[in-house]
């Protein structure tokens, strides 16, 4: 899986109630990123994402901005072993 990355993100700030999950799914689909996004009880958003190194970096940069109305304070990024387990990008409940 050369040139592939897999990351786990915890995004904090004003990221719930601003269409963050749906917009993240749209950004991921546009870039060909696979994985999932979900809200956490502490008002943060969790993302698990896999893709080619360059496009995944573009996706992470998008996450720093988020949709209109979002105010991202911080993103905790954890690098994981590349995986091909994800077939699409989903919103988890």
**Annotated active-site residue in 5, 21, 30, 71:** 21
Whether the CB-CB separation of 6 and 34 falls below 8 Å is answered with no
Please say if 38 is a catalytic residue: no
Please say if 21 is a catalytic residue: yes
Contacts of 36 (CB under 8 A, 6+ apart): 47, 48, 86, 89, 90, 91, 92
**Annotated active-site residue in 3, 14, 38, 39:** 39
Catalytic positions, please?
Answer: 21, 39
């Amino acid at each position: 899986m050369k040139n592939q990355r897999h990351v786990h993100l915890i995004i904090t700030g004003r990221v719930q109630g601003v269409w963050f999950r749906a917009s993240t799914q749209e950004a991921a689909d546009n870039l060909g990123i696979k994985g999932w996004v979900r809200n956490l009880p502490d008002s943060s958003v969790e993302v698990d994402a896999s893709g080619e190194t360059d496009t995944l970096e573009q996706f992470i940069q998008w996450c720093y901005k988020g949709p209109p109305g979002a105010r991202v304070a911080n993103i905790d990024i954890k690098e994981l072993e590349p995986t091909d387990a994800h077939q699409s990008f989903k919103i988890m409940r």
